[in-house]
Amino acid sequence: MAVGTEYLAEQPKLRTSAIVLGAIAIAALLAAPFFFYPVLLMSILCFALFACAFNLLIGYVGLLSFGHAAFFGGAAYFTAHAAKVWGWEPLAAILLGVAGAAVMGLVMGFLAIRRQGIYFAMITLALSQMFAFICLQVPFTHGEDGIQGVPRGHLLGLIDLNQPLAMYYLTLAIFLFGFFAIWRIVHSPFGNILKAIRENERRAVSLGYRVDRYKLGAFVMSAALAGMAGSTKAIVFQFATLTDVQWQMSGEVILMTLLGGIGTLIGPIVGASLVIALQNYLAASDFPVLVLIGIIFVICVLLFRRGIVGEILEFTKRRSKGAA
Amino acid sequence: MEFRGFVAVKDVTLSVNEGTIHALIGPNGAGKTTVFNLLTKFLTPTRGQITFKGADITRLKAAEVARLGLVRSFQISAVFPHLTVLDNVRVALQRPSGLATQFWRSSNALSALDERAMELIDAVNLSSYRDLTAAELSYGRKRALEIATTLALDPAMLLLDEPMAGMGHEDIGRISDLIRRIAKNRTVLMVEHNLNVVADLCDRVTVLARGEILSDGSYDKVSQDPRVREAYMGTEHE
């Protein structure tokens, strides 16, 4: 599953080309708002970060969480409340959302981490549904209405985020920060142990690793980064609603990650871009977007199980092996 | 130890003396692996007590037992298949050297462990395979890698579950030599079906059958025991 990135890291030639490609991608992202609708781009960036955070858990630890909406949507509520009711500066409000998601991750992770496979998924789903119910009931979320009219405010009191470009570049910076944080975690000594646990958990235990703590650590990191995506989205779209905490959102992020390629660093970005772009372009037409996404999902599962990026990496790998 | 009312091993009083190679043998289903799982806390005993170097470890968790220096291998070769040979050994070295929880550092930091890792890999004659993934190794080499990984923890006691299973002649000789070498300043408890290896390597042999100890003592004494001969009849005795 995770062959992609390790493979890149081991091949010096590919590594340079990865750096070049990365530089081109960043340049393209910097120029993008002059060619595309910035709100769409920001939406893609938020969901791409969300999918990357989710992928940290499933792709590198092998844990399928069906409750990541709680972190995404929960953080959105915290940020929206802090920015609107308490009048916090946007970055501080986002940080509060991240911290809130991390604490939620710690609690949910602590309860779920001892279970494996489908049981882990079910417990995360149940806990996130409990959280969604709480969000429906408590007054500060304003129930069905959600928190609306969240002010974007001034970044550090200086930059007016109501200017679309300023908002876009802040979103891009947060996305890049999150992406490189994940890259760093995956390619760190800690990430190495995560891989070992995913490969052979019993062996990791017999080497003296308290695997539950490593999994919980990864779970909290994934939750915090998912929260960062949700918080940013709350500032960008200026609202936080129940949609973001419901199980459909958890399902959507699984779909994005699966489509792009589980366990590849850029797969979730590709998957999220595809799903959000499709939703956006089909929103105006009569064609039911859910049907189309369902069809794409079925094709993906039947024909390219590694996801788009996973299949491409596998193809180039096989070709370079054949050539050698 | 009971599994849902089925008694897998009972009244097994096994004491392994420090600095010896001790074999645990017996027909299939005798409970050898269960004993291993109990000792290393992959299973919790229903009754009884386990002590290691004088301390009671009956209630400890598996990872904690490993931290005390009681480290096991597995019957089915336990490597990290998609990691390279070098990485496999480094994973074991990471924890004692405090490099396991650092998520903010580059994994290049792990190169500090390369020298020690290569010593261990050399010791099992795998130097020329260091950059292959473990999955690409032959069965015998996987076992060798597993031993190198286990040794990386510098354990006071090793539990080897069938280290020779499925190995060719050459490999058996090589691994035997290795076990003899590592046992110089450690205690080894091994489950092994190859009785030539047992006779050759082990100071003491315990025979287990149907979850109970049948015989215990030197290989010569045990192999003369009529009950042992009976238990082995038509099975693995050569």
What residues does each domain of chain A span?
3-323
Which residues in chain B have their CB less than 8 angstroms from residue A200's CB? 78-81
pLDDT for position B57 = 85
Top-confidence residue, B108 or A222: A222
Which chain A residue's Cα is nearest to B76?
A: A203
Q: Looking at the partner chain, which of A185, A193, A202 has a beta carbon nearest the beta carbon of B91? A: A193
Q: Beta strand B187-191 with B21-25: parallel, antiparallel or unpaired?
A: parallel
Q: Looking at the partner chain, which of A3, A200, A210 has a beta carbon nearest the beta carbon of B63? A: A210
Q: Beta strand A159-160 with A154-155: parallel, antiparallel or unpaired?
A: antiparallel
Q: Phi/psi at A207 (nearest 5 deg)? A: -90, 5
Cβ–Cβ below 8 Å for A184 and B100: no
CA A249 distance to own-chain centroid: 11
How is domain B2-232 classified at the CATH fold level? Rossmann fold (3.40.50)
Token pair, residue B160, equals 């080897």
**Min Cα separation B117/chain A (Å):** 15
How would you write the pLDDT of chain A (324 residues) with one tens digit per residue? 344 444 445 556 667 887 888 888 888 888 888 888 888 999 999 999 999 999 999 988 889 999 999 999 999 999 999 988 888 888 999 999 999 999 999 999 999 998 888 899 999 999 999 999 998 888 888 877 788 888 887 778 777 778 888 889 999 999 999 999 999 999 999 999 999 999 998 899 989 899 999 999 999 999 999 999 999 999 999 888 888 888 888 888 998 898 888 888 888 999 999 888 888 887 777 777 778 778 877 887 777 778 888 888 888 888 876 655
Q: What is the pLDDT of residues B59-104, one digit of tens each?
A: 888 888 888 888 888 877 688 998 999 999 999 999 888 888 888 8
Q: Beta strand B204-209 with B212-217: parallel, antiparallel or unpaired?
A: antiparallel
Asked if the C-beta of B142 comes within 8 angstroms of chain A's C-beta atoms, the answer is: no
Q: Looking at the partner chain, which of A3, A6, A188 has a beta carbon nearest the beta carbon of B104? A: A188
Give the residue from A319, A272, A286, A274 showing the smallest Cα distance to A55: A272
- In this prediction, residues B27-32 reach a mean pLDDT of 80
CA distances from B63 to B54, B98, B156 (A): 19, 16, 15
**Min Cα separation A203/chain B (Å):** 6
Cβ–Cβ below 8 Å for B109 and A204: no
Is it true that domain A3-323 has CATH number 1.10.3470? yes
**Min Cα separation A220/chain B (Å):** 13
Look up residue B70 and give its amino acid: L
Which chain B residue's Cα is nearest to A201?
A: B80
Decide if pLDDT at B232 tops 80.
no
Give the residue from B234, B170, B228 showing the smallest Cα distance to B26: B228
| Residues whose CB is less than 8 angstroms from the CB of residue A226 and which lie 6 or more positions away in sequence, other chains included | A50, A53, A54, A68, A71, A72, A75, A101, A253
Whether residue B218 contacts residue B191, with contact meaning beta carbons closer than 8 Å, is answered with no
Q: Is B54 helix (H, G, I), strand (E, B) or coil?
A: coil
Which chain B residue's Cα is nearest to A211?
A: B63
pLDDT for position A12 = 62
pLDDT for position B237 = 45
Q: Looking at the partner chain, which of A184, A191, A209 has a beta carbon nearest the beta carbon of B63? A: A209
Whether residue A24 contacts residue A150, with contact meaning beta carbons closer than 8 Å, is answered with no
What residues does each domain of chain B span?
2-232
pLDDT for position A14 = 67
Whether residue B149 contacts residue B79, with contact meaning beta carbons closer than 8 Å, is answered with yes
Which regions of chain B does DSSP assign to beta strands (E)?
Answer: 2-3, 6-7, 21-25, 51-52, 55-56, 70-72, 157-161, 187-191, 204-209, 212-217
Which residues in chain A have their CB less than 8 angstroms from residue B106's CB? 184, 187-188
Cβ under 8 Å to A: B residues 180-219 = none
- As beta bridge partners, residue B212 has B209
Residues of chain A whose beta carbon is less than 8 angstroms from a beta carbon of chain B are: 2-3, 6, 184-185, 187-193, 195-196, 199-200, 202-211, 214, 217, 221
Enter the pTM of the model: 0.85
Which chain B residue's Cα is nearest to A215?
A: B101
Whether residue A271 contacts residue A52, with contact meaning beta carbons closer than 8 Å, is answered with no
Q: Looking at the partner chain, which of B62, B83, B99 has a beta carbon nearest the beta carbon of A206? A: B62
Q: For chain B, state the CA radius of gyration.
A: 18
ipTM score for this prediction: 0.81
